[in-house]
């Protein structure tokens, strides 16, 4: 029996969304106020959804773990946001943006969802501009764009290297307007501990107040998860250190299928690790690859300063291997190429786990001013962290865990396999396939929140208008609350010797070494075994001082790490199952003679959606076959 129904509308690809919107059931404005919606997360998708739903007149409750919704990690996106405006007259179109995403995702995403994301991208830019997001402009006052990794048109709108911050503050402002109007109630410093399911439908959440430790019940007609990705499973990543997968994982254990967990993007341009206490790896926007050239010395262990190494002794390995795209190849390709050079012994710096990103030629050609205008704040940030000046000598960069294409399985309406539970933004799986193209994350998150979800939820809520306010006195709430409390108690009572972070660090190392940029069967099996042991050690030797009834950051961390052990096991099971290389998932057993990914469309052109089967039992695999009606499956070549 197949439980996955994608609900993709019939008809030609370009008309599906329009057709869907004309046929979708609507909710009478008078009824909207009576319908309650919980949105967890306040990034571009969460704050976008909460504001748009508030504008429509629904009663929205919005949650975040930070002290303010303005701090969600969308804030850290740097390079830009894509839209198919074709302002540059360079042949761009909705179709071309769609095609680039399908190809960039290595043909592992759902055509109809991707096309819709490309379609609403233009609405997103219009909306952000109207909200006062100060995108870069040309002298005539129109919006400027730049080109970004993996594509040949210039469609990326940007606000210096702080596009994510500016877009997020735009969302935050629209959210604030709805808070003022009373349509949205904000609950900051709350962590979702469980999803409440009543008669098979999502009807609320259990949260912990991170200041008082109080466990709270919140009911609603539907629940929207906008809780981001699980990149911190590697411990060191470009994510905020408190980013976590716990909300999505709890929903998964309550019945929401988890799709393609092994599709994790490793970003090629990050500041390398400098010390053993390092808590995160800072991203340097890949827009830098527009002007920076990536190279390593041709001679192993070359001890000369980078500026003293002459042209003939430099290996510009991306330009050499991929002459058509050069330094602008997609992230997965660039990351693996850097790893290949470092593994072969050509890396630079103290650890030899870094490559050069050099702006010398760009500064000579365009002048320092021009480079400063484009990347000033990134150069400053690099100098602040490392003490080295990129105007004077090349940056050193190395890949780091960044974005998770996998996530909760959703249908065309962005609903998970639990009726009434939706997942938007990075928390879902649907638009980026096996690899995400640069500047498409902000685009998809804002599109989901502002323009897709508000149109699709009415189809569900129209049948729910007779359901009264969900009472939190229902036994299902008590049950979920007790289970959450019991688990907190269990974590508190271990009273061992090791901190949650030290376990997280060890888990991250295993994941990076065996389940990172490249994977193989033996390594994956070894990682499974190591994680099983580590998880056992965790539940025996964790220490958390204090109590659960107060502000307790160690308890917060411990809960997240405990969930990561379980997600890591599923991630590895998925990587083992997918016996092919596609996008960011590179299985060493499946590669071409010159080291490129070898896809297997015959056997693996499907979404792997995993069902939780209970504690200690293996997950059940469900396949959503991917049908490509519009594009022809091709080998993804950037040569």
Tokens of 188: 């900051």
Of these residues, 110, 321, 331, 396, which one is catalytic? 331
State which of positions 497-516 bind another protein (CB under 8 A). 497-499, 501-502
Q: Which is nearer to another protein, 353 or 598 (CB)?
A: 353
State which of positions 521-560 bind another protein (CB under 8 A). 543-546, 550-551, 553-554
In the set 31, 93, 123, 154, which binds another protein (CB under 8 A)?
A: 123
Q: Give the C-alpha distances (Å, rounded to integers) separating 151 from 1, 46, 68, 330, 425.
A: 40, 28, 36, 8, 22
**Cβ atoms within 10 A of the Cβ of 209, count?**
15
By CB under 8 A, the count of residues binding another protein is: 82
CB 531 within 8 A of CB 512: no
* Coil, strand or helix at 290: helix
331 is catalytic: yes
State which of positions 78-107 bind another protein (CB under 8 A). 85, 87
Q: Which is nearer to another protein, 154 or 498 (CB)?
A: 498
In the set 75, 395, 507, 609, which binds another protein (CB under 8 A)?
A: 75
Q: Spell out where 41-179 has E strands.
A: 59-63, 81-82, 156-157
**Smallest gap, in angstroms, from Cβ of residue 56 to another protein?**
8
DSSP state, 425? G
Region of 139-147, 329-337, 394-402, 474-482 interacting with another protein (CB under 8 A): 139-147
Q: Which is nearer to another protein, 315 or 537 (CB)?
A: 537
Q: Which is nearer to another protein, 142 or 305 (CB)?
A: 142
Tokens of 61: 């409750």
Determine the Cα–Cα distance for residues 377 and 391; give it in Å rounded to an integer.
Answer: 12
Q: Which is nearer to another protein, 273 or 591 (CB)?
A: 273
**Smallest gap, in angstroms, from Cβ of residue 213 to another protein?**
11
Residue 421: HSE in the Cβ half-sphere, 13 Å Cα cutoff: 30
In the set 31, 88, 93, 129, which binds another protein (CB under 8 A)?
A: 129
Q: Which is nearer to another protein, 388 or 592 (CB)?
A: 388
State which of positions 13-72 bind another protein (CB under 8 A). 48, 51-52, 55, 66-71
In the set 235, 422, 450, 612, which binds another protein (CB under 8 A)?
A: 450
Q: Is 614 in the site for another protein (CB under 8 A)?
A: no
**Smallest gap, in angstroms, from Cβ of residue 478 to another protein?**
29
* Coil, strand or helix at 366: helix
* Coil, strand or helix at 394: coil
**Smallest gap, in angstroms, from Cβ of residue 472 to another protein?**
25
Q: Which is nearer to another protein, 44 or 571 (CB)?
A: 44
Region of 23-31, 130-138, 391-399, 428-436 interacting with another protein (CB under 8 A): 130-138
Q: Residue-wise over 600-638: b if at least 16 C-beta within 10 A, else e?
A: ebeebbbbbbbbbeeeeeebeebebebeeebeeeeebeb
**Smallest gap, in angstroms, from Cβ of residue 480 to another protein?**
27
Q: Which is nearer to another protein, 315 or 393 (CB)?
A: 393
* Coil, strand or helix at 347: coil
Q: 476 Cβ partners below 8 Å, 6+ apart? A: 196, 197, 198, 203
In the set 137, 540, 627, 634, which binds another protein (CB under 8 A)?
A: 137
Q: What is the DSSP string of 142-177?
A: SBP-B--TT-SS--EE-BTB-HHHHHHHHHHHHHHH
Q: Which is nearer to another protein, 69 or 79 (CB)?
A: 69
DSSP state, 293? E
The answer for 389, left when phi > 0, alpha when psi is -120 to 50, beta otherwise, is beta
**Cβ atoms within 10 A of the Cβ of 177, count?**
15
Query: What backbone torsions phi and psi does residue 13 show, to the nearest 5 degrees?
Result: -50, -45
**Smallest gap, in angstroms, from Cβ of residue 232 to another protein?**
11
Q: Which is nearer to another protein, 177 or 509 (CB)?
A: 177
In the set 50, 102, 153, 240, which binds another protein (CB under 8 A)?
A: 240
**Smallest gap, in angstroms, from Cβ of residue 439 to another protein?**
16
Q: 563 Cβ partners below 8 Å, 6+ apart? A: 244, 245, 246, 249, 250
State which of positions 324-353 bind another protein (CB under 8 A). none
Q: 467 Cβ partners below 8 Å, 6+ apart? A: 221
Burial of 44 (0-12, 13-18, 19+ CB in 10 A): buried
In the set 125, 167, 225, 584, which binds another protein (CB under 8 A)?
A: 125
**Smallest gap, in angstroms, from Cβ of residue 404 to another protein?**
17
Q: Which is nearer to another protein, 46 or 297 (CB)?
A: 46
State which of positions 470-499 bind another protein (CB under 8 A). 495, 497-499
Determine the Cα–Cα distance for residues 214 and 488; give it in Å rounded to an integer.
Answer: 12
**Smallest gap, in angstroms, from Cβ of residue 634 to another protein?**
33
Determine the Cα–Cα distance for residues 410 and 421; give it in Å rounded to an integer.
Answer: 9
> Of 340, 349, 331, nearest to 594 (Cα)?
340
State which of positions 361-390 bind another protein (CB under 8 A). 381, 384-385, 387
What is the separation, in whole angstroms, between the first and last Cα of the chain? 43
In the set 88, 154, 209, 242, which binds another protein (CB under 8 A)?
A: 242
State which of positions 155-214 bind another protein (CB under 8 A). 159-160, 162, 164-166, 169, 172-174, 176-177, 179-180, 186, 188, 211
**Smallest gap, in angstroms, from Cβ of residue 546 to another protein?**
6
State which of positions 247-276 bind another protein (CB under 8 A). 274-275
Q: What angle do CA 271, 276, 282 make, to 5 degrees?
A: 20
Region of 120-128, 432-440, 576-584, 586-594 interacting with another protein (CB under 8 A): 120-128
Active site (catalytic) residues: 331
């Amino acid at each position: 029996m197949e439980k996955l129904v994608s609900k993709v509308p019939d008809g030609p690809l370009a008309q599906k969304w329009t057709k869907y919107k004309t046929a979708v059931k609507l909710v009478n404005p008078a009824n909207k106020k009576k319908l309650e919606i919980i949105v967890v997360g306040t990034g571009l998708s969460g704050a976008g959804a909460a504001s748009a739903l508030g504008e429509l007149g629904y009663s929205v409750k919005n949650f975040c773990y930070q002290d303010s919704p303005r701090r969600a990690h969308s804030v850290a996106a740097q390079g830009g946001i894509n839209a198919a405006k074709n302002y540059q007259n360079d042949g761009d179109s909705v179709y071309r943006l769609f095609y680039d995403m399908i190809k960039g995702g290595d043909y592992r995403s759902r055509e109809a969802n991707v096309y819709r994301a490309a379609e609403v991208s233009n609405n997103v830019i219009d909306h952000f501009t109207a909200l006062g997001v100060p995108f870069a402009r040309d002298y005539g006052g129109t919006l400027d764009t730049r080109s970004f990794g993996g594509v040949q048109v210039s469609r990326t709108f940007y606000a210096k290297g702080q596009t994510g911050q500016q877009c997020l503050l735009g969302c935050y402002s629209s959210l604030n307007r709805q808070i003022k109007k009373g349509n949205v109630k904000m609950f900051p410093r709350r962590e979702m501990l469980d999803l409440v399911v009543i008669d098979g439908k999502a009807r609320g959440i259990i949260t912990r107040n991170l200041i008082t430790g109080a466990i709270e019940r919140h009911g609603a007609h539907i629940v929207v998860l906008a809780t981001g990705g699980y990149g911190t499973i590697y411990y060191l990543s470009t994510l905020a250190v408190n980013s976590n997968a716990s909300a999505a994982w709890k929903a998964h254990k309550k019945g929401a299928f988890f799709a393609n967990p092994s599709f994790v993007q490793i970003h090629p341009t990050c500041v390398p690790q400098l010390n053993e206490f390092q808590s995160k790896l800072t991203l340097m926007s890949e827009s830098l690859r527009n002007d920076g050239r990536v190279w390593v010395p041709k001679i192993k262990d070359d001890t000369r300063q980078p500026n003293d190494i002459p042209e003939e002794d430099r290996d510009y390995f991306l330009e050499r291997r991929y002459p058509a795209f050069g330094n602008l190849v997609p992230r997965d390709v660039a990351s693996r190429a850097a790893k290949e050079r470092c593994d072969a012994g050509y890396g630079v710096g103290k650890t030899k786990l870094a490559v050069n990103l050099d702006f010398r030629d760009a500064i000579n050609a365009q002048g320092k001013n021009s480079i400063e205008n484009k990347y000033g704040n990134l150069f400053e940030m690099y100098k602040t962290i490392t003490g080295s000046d990129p105007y004077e000598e090349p940056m050193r960069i190395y890949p780091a865990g960044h974005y998770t294409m996998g996530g909760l399985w959703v249908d065309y309406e962005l609903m998970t396999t639990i009726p009434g539970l939706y997942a938007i933004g990075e928390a879902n799986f649907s638009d980026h396939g096996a690899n995400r193209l640069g500047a498409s994350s902000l685009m998809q998150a804002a599109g989901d929140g502002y323009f897709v979800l508000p149109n699709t939820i009415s189809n569900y809520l129209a049948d729910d208008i007779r359901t009264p306010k969900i009472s939190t006195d229902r036994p299902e709430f008590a049950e979920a609350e007790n289970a959450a409390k019991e688990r907190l108690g269990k974590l508190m009572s271990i009273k061992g010797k090791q901190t949650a972070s030290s376990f997280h660090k060890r888990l991250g190392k295993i994941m990076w070494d065996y389940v990172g940029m490249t994977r193989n069967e033996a390594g994956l099996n070894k990682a499974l075994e190591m994680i099983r042991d580590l998880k056992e050690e965790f539940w025996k030797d964790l220490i958390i001082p204090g109590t659960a009834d107060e502000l307790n950051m160690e308890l917060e961390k411990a809960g997240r790490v405990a969930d990561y052990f379980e997600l890591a096991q599923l991630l590895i099971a998925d990587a083992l199952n997918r016996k092919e290389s596609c996008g960011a998932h590179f299985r060493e057993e499946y590669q071409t003679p010159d080291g490129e990914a070898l896809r297997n469309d015959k056997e693996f052109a499907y979404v792997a959606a995993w069902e939780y089967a209970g504690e200690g039992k293996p997950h059940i695999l469900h396949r959503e076959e991917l049908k490509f009606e519009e594009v022809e499956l091709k080998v993804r070549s950037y040569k």
